[in-house]
Amino acid sequence: MPTLAVIVAFGAASALLLLIPGPAVLYIVNHSVSDGREVGLAAVAGLELGNLVHALAAAAGLSAVIATSATAFNTVKWLGAGYLVFVGVRTLTRKPAAIDTDSPGVTPKRAFLQGIVVNVLNPKVALFFLSFLPQFIHPELGNPGVQALVLGLVFVAIGCVTDSAYSLLASSLRGVLVRGRALPFIQRYVAGTVFIGLGLVAATASGARSASLPRQR
């Protein structure tokens, strides 16, 4: 089990990432603005179920990597830190997609199923879990698979809260979101800066923790 301090740190970092508008948030906002609150919340449920699938897969994968080699685990962590920085730089250099208020209406059931497919089949979500979760796993605490699973469930729980809040807010502020410029600014500049910052912090933490990993024979 991860310690309370690790859970709190992971929860804070997760909340920061989830609050920044990304592709999933834009998907939620589009449905909430175009089709209403019920459809938006159904999309949230689908996306979070997709996140849960990736969290379970990441927990199993990281557990296998750690059992195989401490060097392999360190490699995954360094690649993950680099991926976060890469995402940040790419976010800063790309113009975010606009909100599409003319998309055809869908039923809550269809929005739910689409949300599952969008996240389960999105390789970026898998890469995110494999780059983000390892930074908070401490093999010296034992049972890394359980640590990854607990943290993954924490991420999904926080995602349910933040994404639902976006859906409720978007459906209530339809006109403001369509005309305003704050959302694109946050999507591009704030999100890019935060991703780079987390990547640099992760790289520093990876180097600091490498000495504490158990050696494999």
Does a structural domain hold residue 172? yes
Does a structural domain hold residue 217? no
Residues 6+ apart with CB under 8 A from 71: 216
Find the domain containing 193 and state its range.
Answer: 4-212
Report the domain count for the chain: 1
C-alpha–C-alpha distance, residues 13 and 208, integer Å: 19
C-alpha–C-alpha distance, residues 83 and 160, integer Å: 25
Does a structural domain hold residue 117? yes
Residues 6+ apart with CB under 8 A from 121: none
CA angle centred on 19, ends 15 and 23, rounded to 5° = 120
Q: Which tokens go with 202?
A: 């992760």
Report the chain (217 residues): mean pLDDT per 10 consecutive residues. Answer: 89 85 74 80 92 84 60 66 76 69 70 82 71 80 83 92 89 65 62 70 55 40
Does a structural domain hold residue 41? yes
Cβ count near 44 (within 10 Å): 29
pTM of the predicted structure, to 2 decimals: 0.66
Does a structural domain hold residue 57? yes
- The radius of gyration of the chain from alpha carbons, rounded to an integer in Å, stands at 18
Residues 6+ apart with CB under 8 A from 95: 184, 188
CA angle centred on 166, ends 163 and 167, rounded to 5° = 90
